[in-house]
Amino acid sequence: MLTIIVNINVKPEYLTEFISATLKNVKNSLLEPGVIRFNFCENANEDNAFILIEVYKSKEAQLEHKMTPHYNEWREQVEKMMAKPRSSIVYKCDLLNQ
């Protein structure tokens, strides 16, 4: 299992548009067979800051996600909306099964 935390800061003027585009991506991502969880969270203490919590069955599932039309549409659409490039941290979560 692979968990990715994506940090995103959005320009204030794009807030509504960003949320709409991201919700569409989340809904489609949850339909992928390799996706276990796909959460979209707003930072309660910092304006215009969000995270995506993406949990995949495997590294291959995460790579397949990056090839989907909805992900690529989202990535292209929101790039201009970001105050700075998004960053991510990858976690391996199946340590008990090793």
Kindly state the DSSP code that residue 3 receives in the 8-state scheme.
E
> What fold characterizes domain 2-97?
Alpha-Beta Plaits (3.30.70)
Report the mean per-residue pLDDT for the chain. 95
42-69 average pLDDT score: 97
| pLDDT at residue 93 in the model | 78
Q: CA 2, CA 43: separation in Å to the nearest integer?
A: 23
pTM for this entry: 0.91
**Domain range annotation of the chain:** 2-97
Interval 36-55: pLDDT, tens: 999 999 999 999 999 999 99
Strand order in the sheet with 35-42: 35-42, 49-56, 2-9, 87-92
Reported confidence tier of residue 95, pLDDT bands at 50, 70, 90: low
How far CA 30 is from CA of 24, 47, 73, in Å, comes to 10, 26, 16
